[in-house]
Structure 1
Amino acid sequence: MTIDERLDANSVEVSKDGTTTTLTLSRPAKLNSLDSGIVEELLSALEVCRGDGTRLVVFRGAGKGFSGGFDFTGLEEQTEGDLALRFLRVEALLQAVHYAPFVTMALVHGPCFGAAADLVASCTHRIAAPGARFRMPGLRFGVVLGTRRLAEVIGRDNARDVLSKSKILEANEALRIGFLTGIAEQDNWPQLVTEATEAASILSASRLERVLQLTNDDRRDSDLAELARSVMEPGLKTRISDYIASMKKK
């Protein structure tokens, strides 16, 4: 079954070139924010990639930026259970990327906030255009999403600094602390994808998967448990509403 047969891709554009699959977040009017639909489409696409010979998955964003993160549109109509489930499905997506049997690459331009920044942190290669900027504010409203993965990528002290201050990372700072693996103008991205595709094809698929497994500590259960505890704490919806209101005042 092909990707096209599995997906009604309203929010994710899927293209495959040899062993490289590109997944483009395509909700530009909403800054490619992660609603439940786009998360499920990405999960479905990644599942297809596991069986179609893909060696490299590339994530991109359409429009003026990579993604604004978790989509809070219609917050008033959602129950706390709805919100909790959506966060759990985002974590399922992050784990599908982080523990994928193929190499992953994020190509980021413009803003990349919240859960979208966690998506980038889950990737093998993390490349940004010079003007990209990142922010992970989840702990401002008490949601523990991707914290350990971030600490693995940038180190404990840097993670504590970034998360406790909910600070915006400009591309140069993100590269300095290891959140990014490179900075490149968008015109140079095709060459980087070509190089990554070639590198991902050196080993057999089974050996590549083994290398990726052995270089990742498997913390899926504990990460999911920490997230579940944070979203099950009463008042999730109120905490999010208060956070959104505080951001509007700035």
Structure 2
Amino acid sequence: MVYEAIRVDVDASSRVATITLNRPDKLNSFTRKMHAELRSALDEVEAAKTRALVLTGAGRGFCAGQDLAFEPGAETDLGALIDENFNPLVRRLQALPLPVIAAVNGIAAGAGANLALACDITLAARSSSFVQSFVKIGLIPDSGGTALLPRRIGMARALGLAITGDKLSAEQAQQWGLIWQVVEDADLPAAAQQLAAQLAQQPTKAIAAIKRAMHASTVNSFDQQLDLERDLQRELGASHDFAEGVAAFIEKRSARFEGR
């Protein structure tokens, strides 16, 4: 499919898909068209049975959140905009049955910052930064921001970032545990692809179950979580990849996982 606001590339050999937000003149801020194209692209990625996804931005920024220059005649009810676009996107990324890597280049602001944090692993270029810019225009962090921030960095830091709207450097974000890793700017694309290719060789069925269990842990009681671990482990114990992993261990060879 041909897209205007994004680019989609699928490497058939590594089975890694890369989706690039492609409105560089607007710091890849979201419009309804971009949301619609991204939904279609995620359908395409799943249908192609890719085994890892990289999400990044074109130009000098990852994503500046919502394009505040609303399209003429477009719905400006922010609750409806979030309900129809941003919330389904964040839920979709967290539910995808494959690892999702955010490669953050430049600024990640507003919903763009929280989009990056909603991915499974967030890599950031050293010069990049994260900013909860919502308060600057009289809003609250959305797209999962009020959940993701305090869970990862604690309430004091989360409130500080949200109330001041101050910019957080990539290095500080890594030190605080907000993101996974900082890499040199020039190394970011290769580092993201290398990590995605590595994860694509792993048992992606188990990775999907890990994602499900980790996200469930934020709402489950300890007993509920123990039961979920039991149920998921039972399912994985009957999988091809478990049998292959054990056989490879015994035979002292590399496992050939298939995600089933």
Q: By the TM > 0.5 criterion, same fold?
A: yes
Contact 2:99 2:199 in 1 (8 A): no
Match of 1:11 among 5, 15, 18: 5
Partner residue in 2 for 1:93: 89
Kindly state the Cα deviation for residue 9 of structure 1 after the two structures are TM-superposed.
Answer: 0.8
Residue-by-residue CA offset, 1:124-162 (whole Å, 9 max, x unaligned)? 111111111111123552345111123233333321221
Equivalent in 58, 79, 83 of residue 84 of structure 1:
79
Q: Across the two proteins, how many residue pairs are aligned to each other?
A: 212
Paired position in structure 2 for 1:242? none
Distance in 2 separating the partners of 1:187 and 1:9: 26
Secondary structure at 1:169's aligned position in 2?
Answer: strand
Query: 1:81-230 alignment to 2 at 5 Å?
Result: 81=77, 83-88=78-83, 89-140=85-136, 141-145=138-142, 146=144, 147-189=146-188, 190-203=190-203, 205-217=204-216
**Higher alpha-carbon deviation: 168-177 or 149-158:** 149-158
Aligned: 1:57 with 2:53:
yes
Give the alignment partner of residue 40 of structure 1, picking from 36, 39, 49.
36
- TM-score normalised by length of structure 2: 0.74
Corresponding residue of 2:255: none
Residue identity matched to 2:139? G
Residues 176 and 191 (structure 1 numbering): CA distance in 2 closer, same or farther, change over 3 Å? closer
Structure 1 stretches lacking a partner, 5+ long: 221-250
Secondary structure at the aligned position of 2:29 is classed as coil
CA distance in 1, matches of 2:162, 2:51: 32
Structure 2 unaligned runs (5+)? 220-260
Write the distance in 1 (CA, Å) between the matches of 2:217 and 2:48. Answer: 24
Deviation, 1:76, is 7.7
Residue type of the alignment partner of 1:11: A
What whole-Å deviation, never above 9, does each CA across 1:103-136 have from its counterpart, x for those lacking one? 1111112111111101101011111111111111
Shift of the alpha carbon at 1:191?
3.7
Distance (whole Å) between structure 1 residues aligned to residue 163 and residue 178 of structure 2 = 16
Kept in 1: contact 2:109–2:131 (CA 8 A): yes
Question: How far did residue 171 of structure 1 move?
Answer: 1.4
What is the TM-score when the length of structure 1 is the normalising length? 0.76
- In structure 2, the CA distance between the partners of 1:55 and 1:207, relative to structure 1 (3 Å rule), is same
Runs of 4+ in 1 over 4 A off after TM superposition: 75-79
Contact kept in structure 2, 1:121 and 1:153, CA below 8 Å: no
Identical aligned pairs, as a percentage? 25
Give the secondary structure class of the aligned counterpart of 2:30. coil
